[in-house]
Amino acid sequence: MLIRYWMSKPAIEIDKSESMNNAVALMKEKGIRRLPVTHKGTLCGIVTDRDLKRASASDATSLDIHELLYLISKIKVDHIMTRDVVTVKPDWTMEEAADLMLERKISGAPVVDDDGQLCGVITQTDMFKATLYITGLKKRGFQMAFLLEDSPGSIMEIVTVVREHGGRMASILSTYERAPSGYRNVYLRFYDVSRDRIDDLLAAVKFKAKLRYMVDHRENRRIIFENN
């Protein structure tokens, strides 16, 4: 999944010459915590709610409220923004962006093209939406997790069993993390299996894989195979 298809656009931005007051008002109006700062369309920094709070506190000192409000109205975004901005490209994958954001401990990043022009913003919320889409959760079907021997065609054998019971696949994910050598953990999400056939489906899968759990998202039924 490429960022270009999931980023928030057009990006809500502010010019570096705008006042801190305007930045505060815009972030409050839009319900956001960060604002890309641009000049003639080119990204030059970012200002966050933390930057605004820090700037307000540092200038409070012994000023009375009228002096403080006047001072804040004169502070420009350019004076408080972070100039070393963590950015991503529109043709990066969502996984690459998530990895970078996790490494840098940030919850969002501006998306810029090769010329430094702001294209959009990618946030944790955008990633959550993409995850829900790619995994097929919104279809309210089933998710089945199992430990499977890592051999050619092994996943398709399970898929065939699901289809024989009337199921349609929504997503197939697998990982070698937390799996013994020679095995992998597999997560199937499927739908259209009649609820009265699920137990038969699970019994058939047990002959081919070690079941971890099964969740019926429509009925909120959860079976954890603790002894496996």
- Ranking 10-14, 48-52, 155-159, 191-195 by mean pLDDT, the lowest is 48-52
Same domain, 116 and 140: no
Closest by Cα among 13, 12, 14, 20 to 79: 20
Looking up tokens 């999944």 gives 1
Residues 169-198: what's their mean pLDDT?
Answer: 94
Q: The CATH number of the domain where 91 resides is what?
A: 3.10.580.10
What residues pair up with 19 in beta bridges, in sequence order?
A: 76
Same domain, 115 and 158: no
Give pTM, 2 decimals.
Answer: 0.77
pLDDT of residue 57: 55
Q: How confident is the model at residue 68 (pLDDT cuts 50, 70, 90)?
A: low
Q: Of 132, 161, 187, which one is at a domain's C-terminal end? A: 132
Q: Domain count for the chain, please give it.
A: 2
Closest by Cα among 142, 97, 117, 145 to 9: 117
Same domain, 8 and 102: yes
Q: The CATH number of the domain where 187 resides is what?
A: 3.30.70.260
pLDDT of residue 40: 87
pLDDT digits (tens, 9 = 90+) for 76-103: 898 889 999 999 999 999 999 999 999 9
Q: Of 113, 132, 151, which one is at a domain's C-terminal end? A: 132
Return the number of other C-beta atoms located less than 10 Å from residue 100's C-beta: 16
Owning domain of residue 197: 136-224
Q: Of 81, 106, 132, which one is at a domain's C-terminal end? A: 132
Give the range with max mean pLDDT: 47-61, 127-141, 156-170: 156-170
Same domain, 212 and 105: no
Same domain, 83 and 165: no
Cα 180 to Cα 95: distance, rounded to the nearest angstrom: 25
**DSSP β-ladder status, 221-224 and 210-216:** antiparallel
Same domain, 49 and 126: yes
160 token code pair = 């065939």
